[in-house]
Amino acid sequence: MNGTGNIVALRPFPDAARLELNDQQLRTNLRRATHTIRDKRLRVVGEVDDWEALRRAGAAIKDDVLARLPELLERFEESATRAGAVVHWARDAAEACEIVTRLVTGTAAREVVKVKSMATQEIGLNEALEAAGIEATETDLAELIVQLADDTPSHILVPAIHYNRSQIRDIFRSRMPGVTDGLTDDPPALAEAARRHLRAKFLSATVGISGANFAIAETGTLVVVESEGNGRMCLTLPETLISVVGIEKILPTFSELEVFLQLLPRSSTGERMNPYTSMWTGVTPGDGPRTTHIVLVDNGRTATLADEIGRQALRCIRCSACLNVCPVYERVGGHAYGSVYPGPIGAILSPQLTSSGANSTLPYASSLCGACFDACPVRINIPEVLVHLRQKGVDAKRGKPSAERAAFVSLSWIMRDRRRYAAALRAARRGSAPLRGRGRLRRLPWPASAWTDSRDVPLPPKQTFREWWAKR
Amino acid sequence: MSSARTEILARVRAHRPASAPPVPRDYLPDVPGIDVVEVLVDRLADYRAGVHRASAATLPGVLAGLVATSSTVVAPPGLPAEWLAEVAGPVLRDFPGAPISVADLDRPGVTVVTGAAVAIAVTGTLILDAAPDQGRRVLSLVPDHHVCVIWTDQISGGVPAALARLADPSRPITLISGPSATSDIELNRVEGVHGPRRLDVVVAARS
Ligand code: SF4
């Protein structure tokens, strides 16, 4: 069954990318932001002596989870239920939205507060709640900015990365109740305005909605990793808490967190640890919500699981490191990908979750430079999956005019600035680019050698980007 | 029509990999060779938390100094009374039968004093697990100012060693690494968005 919701691009990637490329502001903001986070990440990753061992463990734990998923899901359901949570299952986005909407309506609440969550964005929950007359307030500062601006997020981690401070001030002035023209564009002043606006909501909300970064099968515990404290507010103050969780978020035992709590913060924000991590198990009398629901969502994940090469995308812990190192993402921004999952991970995850439509152009939204694999804390070989998905796409469409072909041409256009592209490649040299050199596979120095040595590397059907470029 | 649960589990069963190789666990169980106290102090300061040193004997004085300008001091039910012996103003206790309202915690100038379960030195993280000296999660969330006492023997070097010390993972657990912060506006770090604006940590030696 295919996934549905906000993971389906409406336009083929080249069309969307062409539009976004006109936005100079976006590109400037994006470039500065991704480079800043990327540098911070390299610094804090460099502090960890056993980083490669942690990456290997992280990848292997996730693979083990995928192999044991049925048992672990049942175990999770049993533990969470025993701890007082109510567990629901949803086949696709529509079913997940319907379950959450029914739960909210059942409480008579007309307003809910939300923690930033990829899963709820994926299923289009805000739109569904709105249709049912329920107002959902995003409480993460960046999500709030995007919501007030009637926009969509452009980055997994910093969704409002495409706005600068004066644009944010203007959005607050015109859209945030109680904000006056006196509001300056000083970041602390803007954060203070958001604090005041949201605190009233936190203290009155009776229903909170979250996702989860991890779900522990052994104990039924959910884990949310965040920075601002808005997550803690949503998770502890309301009477009812509803958490929407992809079925791949399971970890077997609590102790597995020792790996992921090291990998995730350093990879995502470039911090040694994010300011707040919350863990809760069912209901604790006297502390936090009195009712907790967990909605386990498939939405194309089981279809992705079926593909031997593609399933590694399900290891993803949504850290966004791959976005920040991607030369294509840096130039077109998140919106061009059309799905809530942008960048390299989006290019392999969205088409697999949905398996048709404009998403099939996404595997071409890459130069295959390999920087994403190098950055990924759970060693998802994104270039390998990209090439695999291209191959699948070509096989399916042989002889027909191909949208992929158009996408490929367009990508070259995006990457035409040769100097920048060369710089991006240089930056990615530590990566594991599956590039062809004079007709045979180039052997790369460690750690990329691990890739070229141990794999039968699938190559693009006709030519690589570099070859194609050389002939231009 | 079968239920979503049955259908999803059947699909997972049909599509999963046959097996996965064993998980390599050659990462470090702890961070060897560091002075955990000094590293924790350094990392906390890096997050712009206030860091203070004390012994069992000087702790009451240090705490009294930190809460001197607070309008109200809030304490979880099991916080040792002697810690607050030198506090001049009123102390509100949060008892399970008579919890302090969120509105009261939200008043200007409220300081909460808590203990902690464990700390992680290399990441500058305090872990609270709702034990009686830490109380409900809202206590360390809603007030403007959080003062947290960590004993030097509660500090572990790295993440695995620290998590292994938690008594019961099914309690409500909060990891706190510095004050609440956002980087959403042009990546400028701004502290105190929703959690306490101010975090003071007292690193205390038992003797
Ligand atoms: S694919 Fe890897 S690098 Fe990209 S978001 Fe997922 S975990 Fe992070």
Are A203 and B123 an interchain contact pair (Cβ–Cβ within 8 Å)? no
Atom of ligand 1 at shortest distance to CA of A267?
A: 8
Give the model's pLDDT for residue B160.
98
Pick the residue whose CA is nearest to atom 4 on ligand 1.
Answer: A322
pLDDT, mean of residues B105-118? 97
ipTM of the complex: 0.97
Pocket test for ligand 1, best of A155, A157, A267, A326 (most atoms within 8 A of CB): A267
- Decide: B25 and B176 in contact? Cβ < 8 Å: no
Sign of CA dihedral B67, B71, B75, B79: positive
Are A279 and B174 an interchain contact pair (Cβ–Cβ within 8 Å)? yes
Low-confidence ranges of chain A (pLDDT < 50): 401, 417-472
Which pTM value belongs to this model?
Answer: 0.88
Among residues A39, A34, A44, A38, the alpha carbon closest in space to that of A271 is found at A44
Give the model's pLDDT for residue A468.
37
A319 close to ligand 1 (CB < 6 Angstrom):
yes
Pick the residue whose CA is nearest to atom 7 on ligand 1.
Answer: A316
A320 close to ligand 1 (CB < 6 Angstrom):
yes
Give the model's pLDDT for residue A271.
93
| A240-246/A207-210 β-pairing | parallel
**DSSP labels for A261-281?**
HHHHHHHHTS-SS-SEEEEEE
B175 strand-pairing partners: A277, B127
Please tell me the distance in Å from B52's CA to the nearest CA on chain A: 20
Predicted confidence band at B192 (pLDDT cuts at 50, 70, 90)? confident
Are A89 and B8 an interchain contact pair (Cβ–Cβ within 8 Å)? yes
Pick the residue whose CA is nearest to atom 3 on ligand 1.
Answer: A376
Cis amide bond preceding A447, omega within 30: yes
**pLDDT tens figures, A236-285:** 999 999 999 999 999 999 999 999 999 999 999 999 999 999 999 999 99
A157 close to ligand 1 (CB < 6 Angstrom):
no
Counting beta carbons within 10 angstroms of the beta carbon of residue A50, is it exposed (0 to 12), middle (13 to 18) or buried (19 or more)? middle
Atom of ligand 1 at shortest distance to CA of A345?
A: 1
Give the model's pLDDT for residue B140.
97
**pLDDT tens figures, B138-185:** 999 999 999 999 999 999 999 999 999 998 999 999 999 988 788 778
Give the model's pLDDT for residue A411.
56
Are B183 and A269 an interchain contact pair (Cβ–Cβ within 8 Å)? yes
**pLDDT tens figures, A4-36:** 888 777 677 777 777 676 677 778 888 888 899
Give the model's pLDDT for residue A423.
44
B124 interfaces chain A, CB cutoff of 8 Å: yes
Q: Which residue in the set A164, A191, A288 is minimally distant from B172, CB to CB? A: A288
Q: Which residue in the set A60, A194, A232 is minimally distant from B24, CB to CB? A: A60
